[in-house]
């Protein structure tokens, strides 16, 4: 059994760590690229959103290098993603790719059903071993986030742009290779140490932007045109509403780890949206409010085109914008999006914020 799974940003690092801890054979698909997207667009339904197309491309590419079993997340909420594991299974089947598909989703009949599905993956491993593996995977996700947050902080400050990113790429590899908690800790500490040595411009003013929206487009830089890097170039410090470890902790581990918890987004969203609308619609609103209260200069919402939960959030955001007087830009991406138009919009948006800041300062001086 050679197991693979679709990409979503750095998700491959904890998932690979988890499965290898259970002595399973793992094949990580090649990083999402134009070729991946082309494959997905060719075989996927046009009206599906971008994540399906890339997932499909990932699985086709993984099949080509020998994977025979897929682990997919399912879901039962109003977001279309819940259906994608089945859709992808059908499409792969039609294409003649013989895959064993294991869908992890909340049980709709009884808990036994879920445990049976899980047994199929974990084989003869004991439950204790499984719990250890989950802990190890969480530690990996946490390490990745720790390093990533450091990079987000450094990008607008570094003297030579791109230094932090090249260290970041290297550290991700060492974290990915770490086989034990000790070597993981070592890799993380070394990475943080290296990042702290980067020459920085002192006194440079940074703009703080909160990035909100749908999880896949937030976490996968290939689909968001490397938005965080591009914003970094424009002197912007980015904070996302979603980090992998926080998400794993709150959605899968019932907040078992207390150190890193996500914002109480449901509470923050309540005056605007007090209902679970699927996907990350409520998170988007909740975090928009949270970031605005913390004094962020602006918000960028990013989502796949036709994403229903984010469209709901998009229509509510103007009220947040009005109440907190915070600029908000919404960007939808799909396979038709072009980088030039994207850059024009974010540059104009950052200009808007910078000019507003200067104007405010002038007012204070007067």
Partner 1 sequence: MSIFFGIDVGSVSTNLVLINEENEVIYSSYLRTQGRPIEAIKNGLIKMLSSMPQGMDIIGVGATGSGRQLASMIVGADVVKNEITAHAVAAANQIPDVHSVLEIGGQDSKIIILDNGIVSDFAMNTVCAAGTGSFLDQQAARLGLTIQEFAALALEAKNPVRIAGRCSVFAESDMIHKQQLGHSTSDIVAGLCQALVRNYLNNVGKGKDIKAPVIFQGGVAANPGIKIAFAEALGLEIIVPKHYSVMGALGAAILAREAVAQNGKSNFSGFGLIHSDFLTSSFECKGCPNLCEVIELFVDNTLKARWGDKCNKWSDIIEDAI
Q: Which of 1, 23, 35, 196 binds partner 1 (CB under 8 A)?
A: 35
Strands lying side by side in the sheet with 2-4: 25-26, 2-4, 69-73, 100-104
Stretch touching partner 1 by CB under 8 A, among 30-38, 45-53, 64-72, 260-268: 30-38
Stretch touching partner 1 by CB under 8 A, among 75-83, 255-263, 272-280, 346-354: 346-354
> What minimum distance in Å lies between the beta carbon of 46 and partner 1?
13
Q: Which is nearer to partner 1, 66 or 318 (CB)?
A: 318
Our finding on whether 99 is near partner 1 (CB under 8 A) is no
Q: Which is nearer to partner 1, 45 or 162 (CB)?
A: 162
- What is the signed CA dihedral for 161, 166, 169, 173, rounded to 10 degrees? -160
Euclidean distance between CA atoms 136 and 126, whole angstroms: 15
Q: Which is nearer to partner 1, 18 or 326 (CB)?
A: 326
Q: Which of 159, 251, 355, 361 binds partner 1 (CB under 8 A)?
A: 355
> What minimum distance in Å lies between the beta carbon of 223 and partner 1?
12
Our finding on whether 159 is near partner 1 (CB under 8 A) is no
Angle, helices 163-177/181-196, rounded to nearest 10 degrees: 170
> What minimum distance in Å lies between the beta carbon of 353 and partner 1?
9
Our finding on whether 68 is near partner 1 (CB under 8 A) is no
* Beta-bridge partners for 3: 26, 69
Q: What residue spans of 244-307 are helical by DSSP H?
A: 244-247, 265-269, 281-293
Strands lying side by side in the sheet with 207-213: 236-240, 207-213, 298-304, 328-333
CA angle 117, 120, 126 (to 5 degrees): 105
Our finding on whether 173 is near partner 1 (CB under 8 A) is no
Our finding on whether 113 is near partner 1 (CB under 8 A) is no
* Nearest in space to 195 (alpha carbons), one of 174, 178, 210: 174
Euclidean distance between CA atoms 140 and 17, whole angstroms: 7
Q: Which is nearer to partner 1, 34 or 183 (CB)?
A: 34
> What minimum distance in Å lies between the beta carbon of 355 and partner 1?
5
* Nearest in space to 152 (alpha carbons), one of 258, 220, 230: 230
Q: Which of 341, 364, 365, 366 binds partner 1 (CB under 8 A)?
A: 341
Span between the terminal Cα atoms of the chain, in Å:
71
State which of positions 218-247 bind partner 1 (CB under 8 A): 226
Our finding on whether 352 is near partner 1 (CB under 8 A) is yes
Euclidean distance between CA atoms 296 and 298, whole angstroms: 6
Euclidean distance between CA atoms 45 and 92, whole angstroms: 13
Angle, helices 163-177/12-21, rounded to nearest 10 degrees: 20
Q: Which of 23, 34, 93, 204 binds partner 1 (CB under 8 A)?
A: 34
The count of chain residues that interact with partner 1, using the rule CB under 8 A, is 25
Our finding on whether 347 is near partner 1 (CB under 8 A) is yes
Task: Give the chain's length.
Answer: 366
Our finding on whether 36 is near partner 1 (CB under 8 A) is yes
Our finding on whether 340 is near partner 1 (CB under 8 A) is yes
Our finding on whether 344 is near partner 1 (CB under 8 A) is yes
Contact residues toward partner 1 (CB under 8 A) are 30, 33-36, 162, 226, 305, 318, 327, 332, 336, 340-341, 343-345, 347-349, 351-352, 355-356, 359
């Amino acid at each position: 059994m050679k197991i693979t799974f679709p990409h979503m940003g750095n998700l491959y690092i904890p998932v690979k760590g988890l499965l290898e801890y259970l002595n399973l054979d793992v094949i990580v698909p090649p990083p999402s690229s134009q070729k991946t997207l082309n494959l997905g667009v060719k075989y996927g339904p046009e009206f599906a959103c971008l994540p399906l197309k890339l997932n499909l491309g990932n699985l086709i590419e993984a099949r080509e290098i020998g994977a025979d079993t897929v682990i997919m997340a399912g879901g039962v909420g109003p977001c279309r993603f819940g259906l994608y594991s089945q859709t992808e299974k059908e499409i792969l089947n039609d294409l003649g790719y013989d895959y064993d598909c294991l869908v992890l989703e909340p049980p709709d009949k009884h808990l036994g059903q879920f445990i049976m599905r899980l047994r199929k993956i974990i084989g003869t491993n004991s439950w204790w071993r499984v719990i250890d593996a989950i802990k190890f995977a969480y530690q990996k996700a946490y390490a990745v986030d720790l390093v990533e947050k450091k990079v987000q902080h450094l990008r607008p400050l570094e003297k030579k742009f791109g230094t932090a990113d090249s260290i970041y790429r290297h550290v991700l590899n060492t974290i990915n290779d770490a086989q034990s908690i000790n070597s993981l800790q070592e890799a993380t500490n070394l990475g943080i140490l290296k990042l702290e040595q980067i020459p920085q411009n002192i006194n440079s003013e940074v703009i703080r932007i909160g990035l909100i929206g749908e999880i896949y487009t937030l976490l996968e830089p290939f689909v968001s045109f490397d938005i965080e890097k591009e914003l970094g170039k424009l002197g912007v410090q980015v904070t996302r509403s979603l980090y992998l470890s926080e998400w794993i902790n709150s959605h899968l581990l019932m907040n078992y780890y207390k150190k890193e918890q996500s914002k109480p987004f449901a509470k923050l969203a309540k005056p605007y949206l007090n209902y679970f609308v699927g996907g990350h619609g409520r998170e988007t609103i909740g975090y928009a409010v949270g970031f605005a209260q913390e004094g962020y200069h602006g918000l960028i919402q990013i989502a796949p085109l036709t994403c229903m939960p984010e469209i709901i959030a998009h229509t509510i955001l103007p009220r947040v914008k009005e109440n907190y007087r915070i600029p908000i830009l919404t960007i939808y991406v799909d396979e038709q999006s072009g980088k030039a138009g994207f850059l024009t919009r974010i540059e104009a948006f950052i200009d808007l914020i910078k000019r507003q800041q200067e104007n405010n300062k002038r007012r204070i001086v007067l």
